[in-house]
Amino acid sequence: MPLYQSNQIKIYNSLTGKKEVFQPINEGYVGMYVCGPTVYSYVHLGNVRTFMSFDMVFRYLKHLGYKVRYVRNITDAGHLENDEDAGEDKVAKKARLEQIEPMEVVQKYTVDFHNVLNNFNFLPPSIEPTATGHIIEQIELISKIIENGFAYEVNGSVYFDVHTFNKTSSYGKLSKRVLEDLIHNTRTLDGQSDKKNPQDFALWKKAEPQHIMRWPSPWGDGFPGWHLECTAMSTKYLGDKFDIHGGGMDLKFPHHECEIAQNEAAKGCSPVNYWMHANMLELNGARMSKSTGNTVNPHELLSGENNFFSKAFTPGVVRFFNAQSSYRSVLDLTNDGLLASEKGFYRLMDGIKVLKSINASGNSSLNVSEWRQKCYDAMNDDFNSPILISHLFEAVKYINQIKEGKASISADDLKTLKNTMNAFVFEVLGLENDEETNSSSDKLAGAVEVLIKLRQEARANKDFALSDKIRDELATVGIVLKDGKDGTTFSIN
């Protein structure tokens, strides 16, 4: 029997504002769409946090035995510089500034995006479609929306008529915004816009002579609106109605709001049963921003080449740090927070290592079945990874007590404990033991062994000042030397 039959998940649905029991449209199958990156620059660490959260959701659904079709798109055209359908296409602007082809920009930053996610041990999505690969589908969708009376064409551009749509539906239902308030808070048109109303948004934009990225359409050469591509790609691969749509909190309005409107206007139904939004990542209590300099990218975080953190942090530590907070909470990235997570991460990995070596001995002093169910209960409650981690540390404490002879475990429970720890630590949370998987760890170990030999030589020569300096300097970077009767060993704290 698949695990999903005995585990009832509750998901916080942004559309209704409450946790709801997850019931997939087709039993045993889940369709999930997550808005991917616009590939005109290196991937932002805040984006990585969002994708990491949904990677965990993907992993848990698969662990429960669901067959998941996970679609995460690549935006390689149509994303303008602001939400008022003005400014340059972000990819085209980058191409103009660097004097290269737009697809060179797309290739460069798509490769970077994949490399970053591979560093953090992401599972690849089932399908990763691009906006430029689905121009035909987007044109067909626009034609249908016009046919149904919810869009209009002006001078080669096509706009979605929000006011007409709002007569039969509710534009703003996801973000809890009221159209009348949007009208009141929107500046009046300056007479140069083709829109009937400021709230209308572009489905297709006319390409001016200088615009590089352009495609033929029934309305003339142009390019699709940013909101349209996700509607076209999600419904092509998941159907007119599917289970889960995810993304960052910043996409709720207008992007996801427009997706709902487009789908209802074209197909007569709301596209998604469960809307999920990951919250923002802050840096030292403030919004990440290139303009203020309060920003760090994934490479800088992993390499230590930045002015915010005292050292480099491994992908496993960063991933563990992310899992210690609910995906719906604002996460503040700080040096102290990462250092604390690093200690916790290695304590967890040490527990896994000890677990491999312990033996069964009589009855269990912990109710392992009850503990196992608490792990599932945590993840079933809107993927509550912080509570899951607290239960994993409960197990680590128990494992160490067994090792010290202060607790016992039966053979069956030992098997259950090993399987459950491995499932949640590696399969669901997606953690990797950096010391075991990274070749750099081998190099680090070799370097430390060289220092240990130098320290031994210094002690033999009665140069205790140098011996102590080597020990103390290593301790400042978290490498602790332990002298014993069999020689000197080290551990990373």
151-154, strands of its sheet edge to edge:
151-154, 157-160, 201-206, 222-224
For residue 439, pLDDT over 60 is answered with no
User: Which phi and psi angles does 74 have, rounded to 5°?
Assistant: -115, 120
For residue 486, pLDDT over 90 is answered with no
pTM of the predicted structure, to 2 decimals: 0.87
For residue 189, pLDDT over 60 is answered with no
**Mutual angle of helices 257-267 and 226-238, in 10-degree steps:** 60
Task: Specify the CATH number of the domain 27-278.
Answer: 3.40.50.620
Least confident of 4-8, 151-155, 240-244, 472-476: 472-476
State the DSSP H helix or E strand holding residue 162, giving kind and residue range, or none if neither. helix 162-166
Q: What are 122's two structure tokens?
A: 């992401």
Strands (E), 122-268: 151-154, 157-160, 201-206, 222-224, 242-248
pLDDT at 441: 56
pLDDT at 18: 98
For residue 335, pLDDT over 80 is answered with yes
User: Which phi and psi angles does 311 have, rounded to 5°?
Assistant: -165, 175
For residue 418, pLDDT over 80 is answered with yes
pLDDT at 166: 95
pLDDT greater at residue 303 or residue 82:
303
pLDDT at 181: 76
pLDDT at 480: 79
**Exposed, middle or buried, 444 (CB in 10 Å: 0-12/13-18/19+)?**
middle
Calculate ∠ Cα 411-415-420, nearest 5°. Answer: 145
d(CA 459, CA 456): 5
Mean pLDDT of the chain: 92
pLDDT at 56: 98
281-283, strands of its sheet edge to edge:
286-287, 281-283, 331-333
pLDDT at 16: 97
- Residues 253, 177 contacting (CB under 8 angstroms): yes
Would you place residue 185 in the very low, low, confident or very high pLDDT band (cuts 50, 70, 90)?
low
Q: How many residues does the chain have?
A: 493
Would you place residue 247 in the very low, low, confident or very high pLDDT band (cuts 50, 70, 90)?
very high
For residue 461, give the 3-state DSSP assignment.
Answer: coil
Q: What is the mean pLDDT of residues 205-227?
A: 92
How is the chain split into domains, by residue range?
27-278, 282-435, 438-492
* Preceding peptide of 24 cis, ω within 30°: no
- Residues 81, 38 contacting (CB under 8 angstroms): no
Same fold, 27-278 and 282-435: no
Per cent of the chain over pLDDT 70 is 95
Kindly give the pairing relationship between strand 281-283 and strand 286-287: antiparallel
Within 8 A by CB and 6+ apart from 5, the residues are 65
pLDDT digit string, tens, across residues 86-107 = 778 889 889 888 899 999 999 9
- Least Cα distance to 54 among 24, 34, 75, 79 occurs for 34
For residue 411, give the 3-state DSSP assignment.
Answer: helix
Q: Which CATH number fits domain 282-435: 3.30.300.160, 3.30.70.260, 2.40.100.10, 1.10.730.10?
A: 1.10.730.10
Q: How far is CA 452 from the centre of its chain?
A: 40
DSSP assignment of 342-398 equals HHHHHHHHHHHHHHHH----SS-SS-HHHHHHHHHHHHHBTS-HHHHHHHHHHHHHH
pLDDT at 192: 53
Task: Tell me how far CA of residue 259 lies from CA of 2, 69, 210, 265, 269, in angstroms.
Answer: 33, 19, 29, 10, 11
